Structure 1
Amino acid sequence: MAQPTVLVVGAAGMQASGLLRGLHRSRIPMKVVGADRRPPTGELPDGFPPLRWEQVDILTEGDRLRDLCAEADVVVNCAGPYFLLGDAVLRAAIDAGTDYLDICDDADATEALLGLDAEVKAAGITALIGMGSAPGTTNILVRLALDNLPDGDAEVEINWVVDCHDMAGAVVPHFVHSFRTAIPGASTMPDWDELQPRTVVFPDPIGPQTVVTLSHPELFTLPRFTRVTRAHNRGGLIPVDHTMLGWLLARLPEHADRATDGMALSRLFDGFAARKTTHTRLGSGLVVDVRVGSEGYRYSSGATTTQEDATGVPAAAGVLVALDGKLPGPGAIAPELLSPADFFAALRLVSAGGGGLSVARTRDGGETEPARIRDLIAQSAAEHTTLQETR
């Protein structure tokens, strides 16, 4: 059987590096094609799979991008920010008839990409939108909890923090955009107090950190694809003054040319980078609460894992699920429609370990006893009716 081909768009970027290392770690034979506007010069470090590099501008070379998609079994779009670059890669995958996944973390872009569901179905493919850490792993954790909770409407609280050392490139304009779109329908930028800042205690080594209300794709997809009726997302940077910097930059007038605006925001954020020299990198943290009535589950993690691995490794797991023919579809879908058993089985193959994820049962918001991910997965796999079947 011929080896499958994976096309990674934006392969020279930071987030793609975690994906590529994850694919190589799996030891599954495959051909990897890296496409980028400016491919790297020289050899990649150890831990990366052999790549064939292709130079392509996704916004101006649509025909060439479509031809590259047609050569692949799966297209992975790591080119962001997604609110700026839009649906160019997905449309090329649709035209080529090739399955697609991305790590889109912009709520408005996620809504637009999922809005192409009819065209994706007509092409007979599946487009998995937002298969990173958050969104991505968070969605699947929520799905896993719902499979183990009683019937009824569910509520979700997602809290996360990222170290300021992980803020580079397209991540900066995305973060600023999350402030600009934090409160749906708002005609003005929210004041700091409107973002409802609060302290959340994350597992060691992260500890207590300040998070604020930010837009995120889970708030759109979870109510659409599951029985979640209320979802809230709060996030922030370590240390908190970098969170406040993102909010202040979001209050600047937005340039009419969004590409120019994004580059200017990155330069301004980097101008504050001297602060990093006095900050020792901690890592990232996540706390996800899922509740149905008084019962619930709480997932918690704290780790020194870099964001490129935290985002890229789940995406690599998504690629393995796609190559194994286990993506639900056809259609444009969110990660909560994946089988948790399939995802975590793939995650074990691509992960270097050290994520530090724990789970506990809760009652009325308080933890009652520890639980095990593998037990939740077993129960989830035993469900007779999947979310995809009832979609």
Structure 2
Amino acid sequence: MKIAIYGANGYQGRLVLAEATRRGLDVVLVGRDGTRLRGAATAAGLSDADVRPAALDGRDALVAAFREADAVINCAGPFTPTGAAVVRAAIAAGRHYVDTAGEQPYIKEVFDTFGAEAEAAGVTVVPAANDACVPGDLIAGLLAERLGPLEEIAGTHVITGGGGPSRGSLRSVIESMDIIKAGGLVYDDGDWHVGLPARHTSIVLPGGSAAIPVAKFPLPEVVTIPRHVQVRHVEGLVEAALSARLSIPIDPEIIAGLPEGPTEEARRTQRFTYVIDAVAADGRRARGVVEGPDTYGTTAVIAVESARRLVTDPAKPGVLAPAQAYDPVGFLGSLLPHGIRWTIEEGMSGS
């Protein structure tokens, strides 16, 4: 199996490259700068790797590079201004596509724009194959199987440690600043809206006793969950302090002077807890929890596993949410060796 990694020389791209190599997969390194791509290949011990320089506006070069692989992983954020060109080229090449995006408007754009095109090409597109959206979406599907039609789902992200975001993540924040300040899209009564008030302002985390303040935030799962779960309301939440920090404009020149991303040592100190609280239409409750280390490393694992499964166990063509493309229990089980644990408990609610 061969995987094309677009943006393989970036911070997240190098982690995806390392994970693909660890699994023994062949790779094609694709991106705008051939020199940087070759440097990334050498650093990964792949001095003879297939390197394909291709600019975003060089559609023919992109398509040709992607045709050398069985699937494409796009790691080059910010995705809002650039991602559509990569999706379009993957579809034109007839190759399955996943990306590591977390930008809510971009993810919705992929669903709104490329469904028919991907279906006609026999290609499966799964945006937001990252540390949070894939397990959160899969857990939501399992909750719906237990509870039936849902009144609401509230997803909450809490992350501690880790040494801070990468430069790419901060640039994605700049692209998403307007939607971050607005609290993100909220799904309600059959459509997505901006500006709806949050239903929840605090949460008691697993094992906790005191509620912590939370605020609305543009989480990717808000876009994907309603694609396959019968639910009236979906909102995303993060710790209120984090939301406030990310709502402050960032000077791009300051970002350019920061380290490219957290060190490996810092990533080892990071822990994430993603909570999915569901309320059924009849009032029954259940809670799903995903916990693990190292959001960037976990994203690499999930992105490679997502692409691999599309090749070995094809899903229906089109743009799909994770739970539409993959068996939830099987995929979540594949994450256990990487320190990622998940649980579902009925009758639980931390709001």
Q: Which runs of 5+ in 2 are unaligned?
A: 187-193, 262-267
Given candidates 355, 369, 381, the residue that maps to 2:340 is 355
Q: Note the C-alpha offset of 1:357.
A: 3.0
Secondary structure of 2:37's match?
coil
**Are positions 1:127 and 2:125 aligned together?**
yes
Equivalent in the alignment of 1:330: 317
Report the equivalent of 1:248: 248
* Residue type at the aligned position of 1:249: P
Q: Find the aligned partners of 2:245 and 2:256 in 1 and give their Cα distance.
A: 13
Residue pair 2:203, 2:350 contacting (<8 A) in 1 also: no
Q: Which residue of 2 aligns with 1:380?
A: none
**Pairing 1:300–2:295 present:** no
In structure 1, the partner of 2:145 is 147
Structure 1 pair 76–94 and aligned structure 2 pair: CA distance change class (3 A)? same
Q: Does 1:93 align with 2:90?
A: yes
Partners of 2:319 and 2:302 lie apart in 1 by: 18
Instruction: State the 1:176 CA deviation.
Output: 4.4
How far apart are residue 243 of structure 1 and its match?
A: 4.4
Q: What is the TM-score of this pair, normalised by structure 2?
A: 0.79
The RMSD of aligned alpha carbons is 3.5
Write the distance in 2 (CA, Å) between the matches of 1:56 and 1:209: 46
Secondary structure in 1 matching 2:167: coil
Which residue of structure 1 aligns with residue 27 of structure 2? 32
Task: Name the residue aligned to 1:285.
Answer: 273
| 1:54 shift after superposition | 2.9
What SS does the aligned partner of 1:287 have? strand
Aligned residue type for 1:223: P
Q: Structure 1 residues 196, 290: closer, same or farther in 2, change over 3 A?
A: closer
> Deviation at 1:324?
0.9
Secondary structure in structure 2 of the residue aligned to 1:171: helix
* Structure-2 residue corresponding to 1:41: 39
Q: Distance in 1 between matches of 2:47 and 2:232?
A: 42
Contact kept? 1:104, 1:130, Cα under 8 Å: yes
Q: 1:290-341 CA distances to partner (integer Å, 9 max, x unpaired)?
A: 22133233123444x22211222111221221121332x2111121213214
How many residues align? The count is: 325
Q: What does 1:310-325 align with in structure 2 at a 5 Å threshold?
A: 310-325=298-313
Provide the rounded CA distance (Å) in 1 between the counterparts of 2:207 and 2:23: 28
Equivalence for 2:75: 78
Residue 232 (str. 1) matches residue 228 (str. 2): no
Match of 1:378? none
Q: Deviations over 1:339-383 (max 9, x none)?
A: 2144235x24xx6422243332225x369xxxxxxxxxxxxxxxx
Could you give the per-residue CA deviations for residues 177-199 of structure 1, whole angstroms, max 9, x where no partner exists? Answer: 4452143699xx98xxx779945
1:167 and 1:33 map into 2 onto residues whose CA distance is: 26
> 2:19·2:300 contact (CA, 8 Å) conserved in 1?
yes
Any residues of structure 2 matched to 1:154-233 within 5 Å, and which? 154-162=151-159, 163=161, 165-182=163-180, 183=182, 198-202=201-205, 210-233=213-236
Tell me, yes or no, if structure 1 residue 64 matches structure 2 residue 67: no
Question: 1:138 and 2:136 equivalent?
Answer: yes
CA contact (8 A) 2:73 2:304 kept: no
* Contact persistence 1:82–1:104 (CA under 8 A): yes
8 A contact 1:166–1:306 mirrored in 2: no
Instruction: Tell me the distance in 2 between the aligned counterparts of 1:69 and 1:33.
Output: 8
Specify which of 100, 106, 121 is matched with residue 103 of structure 1. 100
Contact 1:66 1:96 in 2 (8 A): yes
| Structure 1: distance between partners of 2:254 and 2:319 | 31
In structure 2, distance between residues paired with 1:265 and 1:297: 43
Please say which of residues 66-75 and 98-107 is displaced more in the overlay: 98-107
Contact 2:11 2:168 (C-alpha < 8 Å) held by counterparts: no
Say if 2:150 and 2:278, in contact at 8 Å, map to a contact too.
no
Q: Percent identity?
A: 21
Describe the shift of the 1:91–1:300 C-alpha distance in structure 2 as closer, same or farther (beyond 3 A): same
Output the CA distance in 2 between the equivalents of 1:366 and 1:92.
43
Structure 2 SS opposite 1:248: coil
Equivalent in the alignment of 2:189: none
Taking a change above 3 Å as real, the CA distance of residues 19 and 201 of structure 1, as seen in their structure-2 partners, is: farther
User: Is the Cα–Cα contact under 8 Å of residues 15 and 307 in structure 1 kept in the other structure?
Assistant: no
Of 242, 252, 255, the residue aligned with 1:266 is 255
